[in-house]
Amino acid sequence: MYKSLSICDFTPEKEIETRIDALKNKMAREGISFAVILQNVDLFYFTGTIQKGVLIIPADQRALFFVEKSLYRAGMESPLEIIPIKKDKDVGDILRAKGIIKGKCGMELDVIPVILFERWKSILGYDNMIDVSTLIKEVRLIKSEFEIVQILKSGEIISHVFQKARSIIKEGMREIDIDAILIGEMRKMNHQGMLRMRGFNQEMMNGYVTHGYSATISSGADVPISGLGLTPAIGQGASINVVQRGVPVIVDFGGGYNGYITDETRIYVAGEMKDVFRKGYDTAREIIEEIMGFVREGTNTTELYERAYQRAKEAGIEEYFMGHGEGQVGFLGHGLGLEINELPVFTPRHKMVLQEGMVFAIEPKFIIPNEGAVGIEVDFIVRKDGLQRVTDSSLDIGYV
């Protein structure tokens, strides 16, 4: 019954082995003796399931997957052997007996709260800890073919949303009413129901419908467009702002399938688009097309940002590029995977050479104060011979 109700593939044993081995190799190189994996997403990546438990990865021994609850689900979903425990503190004795607690201990110090960290120091009777999150992010950076299949299915959900958006957006609608239809539509298409962004205070919704004034207001978040939302308690997403003729409606949605996130943006316009947005749209489109032309294995991530900025400058709209005023952000795109803020990041500062299996979103957007915003966001997979798009959804303006 359990497996007959599963529409998503469980993570194959071979995948899990390859992932754990990749981390072990990096740990050995960095002189980390063992890692304690506690975060939901990392647990899913390395075990195939998310339960109350902990995965211990010694650099030189088999990984040990301790589960408190649910043993039943863990057994169904994970190809790893499950070691049942009553309480997390049972783990300390077992690791001591196996001689695993020695050398440097890697933990996800970018996300583990202080109190939990202190608890694990006490469980292990040990305090030689070091951050292992950078190594985990590096392993997760290169997607396997299994992962790419999930990402393509995630992309299908977005393509469907964009089609639906075209048929339902009308002048006079509230952003929130458009959002209501589209998030329901995603769910019907088997969207997993939520998306993840790594880090403290990082919160996100499944979709963002913004338009005109509400697309121009910056927020505390490190994104070019966040929307006003319905309350200062959330401060992002659709608002009650009403669609006006000629002003682009920004539809920025996140697909979610079997954990994997896709993230694309299209614009919709009732009637003819106002001239003030034309240069922004054309430039965004040129940036995407240029990237599809020159990027391949070996391209430097900074080159994408620099070329895009150059295009914006040539069009004379660099002051609106990726935000305006205090809202301007310093990146053109971001990696995708189980979290929406994976590597690589496309900024002028962080250099990274593109390799086959990297997956990312490129989002040239222009925010014009008091008028509105315009832009496109497209997801790509790096292949040996160039970029593959994640969706086949048209980049054209959706006239409605």
Which residues in 173-232 contact its own copies (CB under 8 A)? 176-177, 179-181, 183-185, 187-188, 190-194, 196, 199-201, 203, 205, 213-214, 217-222, 228-232
Q: Which stretch binds its own copies (CB under 8 A): 49-57, 161-169, 247-255, 377-385?
A: 49-57
Binding to its own copies by residue 28, rule CB under 8 A? no
- Site mask for its own copies (CB under 8 A), range 62-101, x = bound: -------xxxxx---x------------------------
Does 300 help bind its own copies (rule: CB under 8 A)? no
Please say which residue, 38 or 345, places its beta carbon nearer to its own copies: 38
What is the C-alpha to C-alpha distance for residues 170 and 181, in angstroms, rounded to an integer?
13
* 3-state DSSP assignment of residue 396: coil
**Contacting range for its own copies; rule: CB under 8 A; set: 50-58, 277-285, 286-294, 311-319:** 50-58
Please say whether the beta carbons of 172 and 212 come within 8 A: no
Which strands make up the sheet holding 378-383, listed edge to edge?
342-346, 333-335, 359-362, 378-383, 386-389
Q: CB of 81 within 8 A of CB of 65?
A: yes
Rounded CA-CA distance 83/92 in Å is 13
Whether 155 contacts 263, CB under 8 Å: no
Residue 207 CB partners (closer than 8 Å, separation 6+):
161, 179, 182, 183, 186, 237, 238, 251, 252, 253, 254
Query: Nearest approach, Cβ of 297 to its own copies (angstroms)?
Result: 28
Q: Is residue 312 exposed (0-12), middle (13-18) or buried (19+ Cβ within 10 Å)? A: buried
- C-beta of 329: minimal distance to its own copies in Å? 10
Shortest distance (Å) from residue 345 CB to its own copies: 17
Segment lying near its own copies (by CB under 8 A), choices 44-52, 282-290, 358-366, 371-379:
44-52
Cβ proximity to its own copies: between 148 and 217 the closer is: 217
Among 2, 12, 122, 351, indicate the residue that binds its own copies (CB under 8 A): 2
User: What is the nearest approach in angstroms of its own copies to the Cβ of residue 163?
Assistant: 16
The reply to whether 319 sits near its own copies by the rule CB under 8 A is no
79 vs 92, beta carbon nearer its own copies: 79
Q: Is 121 in the site for its own copies (CB under 8 A)?
A: no
Positions 125 through 154 that interact with its own copies (CB under 8 A): 131
The C-alpha atoms of residue 349 and residue 177 are separated, in whole angstroms, by 39
One-letter amino acid at 177 equals: D
Tell whether residue 341 is a contact of its own copies (CB under 8 A). no
| By the rule CB under 8 A, 353 interacts with its own copies | no
Per-residue string for binding with its own copies, 261-290, x by CB under 8 A?
Answer: ------------------------------
Tokens of 346: 């496309």
How many C-alpha atoms does 280 have within 13 Å on its Cβ side?
29
DSSP string computed for 276-309 = GGHHHHHHHHHHHHHHHHH--TT-BHHHHHHHHH
Cβ nearer to its own copies, comparing 198 with 311: 198
